Structure 1
């Protein structure tokens, strides 16, 4: 599913890559940037966390004329007034105007590196509203955003993730060289697809994906033997019955199951069956019209 994320053709696609301090999702973000450049799409990056030369490293050099880095890294908060774009300029109107100032008039791919920096300096509700306007405005075909999960509360993460059509959560894997990507994709029809994949991404942005990688052949063997292991083989007592024991068990009468003969004997009233007779005396203040007269109600 990782390789299928960029195949979405409907406008307004929004992809969030969620990472933590244990594993960075920026290299995966660069992979998607490189793929978009190779397809001939203009890519606009709002860069807050890394400089341009670091983000451009290993990208296809023949397509860098389509790469536009809007530098918010040098002065992200506008303290020195040296940057034309700061975090305060983030809005649907401001970003749209920034994209229209370039020579490429066609729709572009917008990359936000990172959403975490914007959310820390804006109301999360406002950020969601502006992102929704960008999606519906038609100025961008697709939005990619990097979000650091360990910097935000669950409510903020949930609101941003609900807005996205695809959420990719990357974590380090237990198997060497591999990382784990849990992808949740919501189709236009409302259907949600989820998949866990193991992947490697080299320095030259070559992506390799496996559904379940082998660990020296051990992983596949464990899955195969796990289904054949008898869970009762190592018990200190026997849970199985022989044929003789099963026949003896079936002949034992259960304590609360009565035979037909015993049922009829209990239900039929014989001559000596007992009855309770009660005759009220004079001290019984019983009123037939109000039987509950003696109750204090």
Structure 2
């Protein structure tokens, strides 16, 4: 699933690379930028955490002439007189104007490095609203954002990831150059697919998937994640032995009728009586008012 996402996400897609302090997802983000440039797509990068020089140095050998870097690293809060891009400009109108001003006629790929910086300085509902509008605005073909999950509350991370069509959660692997990617992809029909794989990133930013989750090896499980038996410390036994199970199966339940009892109840035998009532002529019975003879 990871190589398929690198080959190109469908129009209107929103991809989140979710990392933590244990493993940075920035190199995987650069791999997506490199793949988009190799497909001759225009890429716009909102750089809050990395300077333009560092980004282009990491993308050496790529077609960086189609890369448009919007500097939010130098002055992200607009404290100087002429800031290039600030966090307060993260809205549909500003971004649409910025992309159409410097991009080609076809929709571009928007890369946000990182969403965490914006979420720390903007109201999360406003950020989610802008992301939703960008998905449907037309100026942007694909949104790719880096999110540091351990910097935010779980509800904020869940709200942003709920908007995404694909979420890649990265974690360190068993070896130094390996990492684990847990990918969750949501199709337009609502179907959710999940996959876990070990990968490594080469110097040219190509991603190599080495194995599937069944080959993860003897990774130790967190004690909190281990399943516990809730019946382990009970003072009574909840399980039946073979002898007790056989006796239970032979036991006739009081509300279960046998064939003989059903037959006896449904078919009257000889000697059974019936009560027949035939109205007499003197019976004062009104069909419309059965209680007419009562003194009420």
CA RMSD between the two structures: 2.6
Match of residue 57 from structure 2:
57
Distance 1:99 1:2 in 2: 27
- Check conservation: 2:92, 2:133, Cα contact below 8 A: yes
Give 5+ residue unaligned stretches, structure 1.
221-248, 259-297
Q: Structure 1, residues 65-102: CA drift from partner, whole Å, max 9, x if none?
A: 10000000000011123422100111011110100111
CA contact (8 A) 1:11 1:138 kept: no
Distance of 1:255 and 1:152 partners within structure 2: 55
Offset of residue 40 of structure 1? 0.3
CA distance in 2, matches of 1:62, 1:198: 25
Equivalent residue, structure 2, for 1:295 = none
Structure-to-structure mapping, 1:17-166, within 5 angstroms: 17-59=17-59, 61=61, 63-166=63-166
Q: Does the C-alpha gap of structure 1 residues 136 and 103 become closer, same or farther in structure 2, counting only changes over 3 Å?
A: closer
Structure 2: 5+ residue stretches without partners:
219-241, 252-296
Q: Secondary structure at the match of 2:69?
A: strand
CA 161–62 in structure 1, closer or farther in 2 if over 3 Å, else same? closer
CA separation of 1:4/1:173 partners in 2, compared to 1, >3 Å: closer, same or farther? same
Contact 1:166 1:183 in 2 (8 A): yes
Deviations 1:90-130 (A, max 9, x none): 10111101001115222100000000000111110110001
The alpha-carbon deviation at position 54 of structure 1 amounts to: 1.1
TM-score by length of 1: 0.71
Give the Cα separation in 1 of the matches to 2:180 and 2:10.
27
Distance 2:249 2:190 in 1: 54
Change (3 A) 1:182 1:103: closer
- Counterpart of 2:180 in structure 1 is 180
> Offset at 1:206?
2.4
TM-score under structure 2 normalisation? 0.71
Aligned to 1:5: 5
Cα displacement string for residues 110-156 of structure 1 (whole angstroms, at most 9, x for unaligned residues)? 00000000011111011000100000001011000000011000000
CA gap 1:256/1:63 in 2 versus in 1, 3 angstroms? closer
